[in-house]
Amino acid sequence: MCTVCGCGETGGHEPHGHGHGHGPHEHAPAGGAIDFGAGLAGVHIAGLTQARTIAIEQDILSKNDAYARANRARLADAGVLAFNLLSSPGSGKTSLLVRMIADLGERRPIAVIEGDQQTSRDAERIRAAGAPAVQINTGKGCHLDAHMVGHALDALPLPRGGLLLIENVGNLVCPAAFDLGEAKKVVMLSVTEGEDKPLKYPDMFAAADLVVITKIDLLPHLDFDLPACLETARRVNPRAAVLAVSVRTGEGLPAFYAWIEARASLMAAPAGDPA
């Protein structure tokens, strides 16, 4: 189950009537806003109280975190640096991975885990580009979890010094809560989506180690305020680096690759090394 959207098994529903005073939100006047995220759980799921939702979420995430720790230890032992790529559908995640394989593949081995509800189209694109890939189909699920990724690791070569790139299911909500055992989270936002996405989906952008604005080659054709988007992303998450790139033209990619190489160097540095 994902308690953010309510998919999956809940372990049973509690009685729930839709009368007045049943939750922390207030009914808004015409033209106003009703905030179903104002309760202690930060989410409303039909049939569950806030307390029950929190208990389920804690149980699910604690189990996921145990699998994530095992994945992280396994990747560290293998000397593999893993990145979790997150975004809404259509931001260009797969296109960026294909370009990375072409640009970095000779210098650093790359393996990919692809997450989608159905089909193996993206994994096929990755293999055609020259990198091993495992496809995870989640069915009705809206995100990858650490247990799924652990199974995918069994089927992937993990050469020392390589990169593991995990392309999560296209979704700016649920994947933010699930640690997969990655070293860093990379959240992508295309210029076709609107510069206010960090404000609308703050949990995802707050979880990012790097925010990448994609498809900037389209800026001349769009009404998109890039400086405003960069400022908004930094305001939501001051600790995250923010870059703007175009896979088509290559603009901004050297800075993106430098960010990756800097993390790879830190991982490879001996304990106590000033690097």
CA-to-CA distance for 184 and 134, rounded, in angstroms? 20
Q: pLDDT confidence of 31, banded at 50, 70, 90? A: low
Residue 192 tokens, joined: 């076709």
pTM score, whole prediction: 0.84
Of 145 and 13, which is predicted with more confidence? 145
Q: pLDDT by residue (tens digit) across 178-187? A: 999 999 999 9
52 or 199, which is more confident? 199
Q: Decide: 65 and 174 in contact? Cβ < 8 Å.
A: no
Contacts of residue 19, Cβ cutoff 8 Å, sequence gap at least 6: none
- Evaluate if residue 26 carries a pLDDT over 60: no
Instruction: Please say if the pLDDT value at position 261 is more than 50.
Output: yes
The C-alpha atoms of residue 144 and residue 151 are separated, in whole angstroms, by 11
Count of CB atoms situated within 10 Å of the CB of 49: 17
Residue 69 · residue 181 · CB < 8 Å = yes
Confidence band of 165 (pLDDT split at 50, 70, 90): very high
Answer whether residue 275 shows pLDDT above 60. no
Query: Considering the chain, what percentage of its residues have pLDDT values greater than 70?
Result: 84
Domains and CATH numbers, the chain: 62-268 (3.40.50.300)
DSSP-derived letter for residue 238 is T
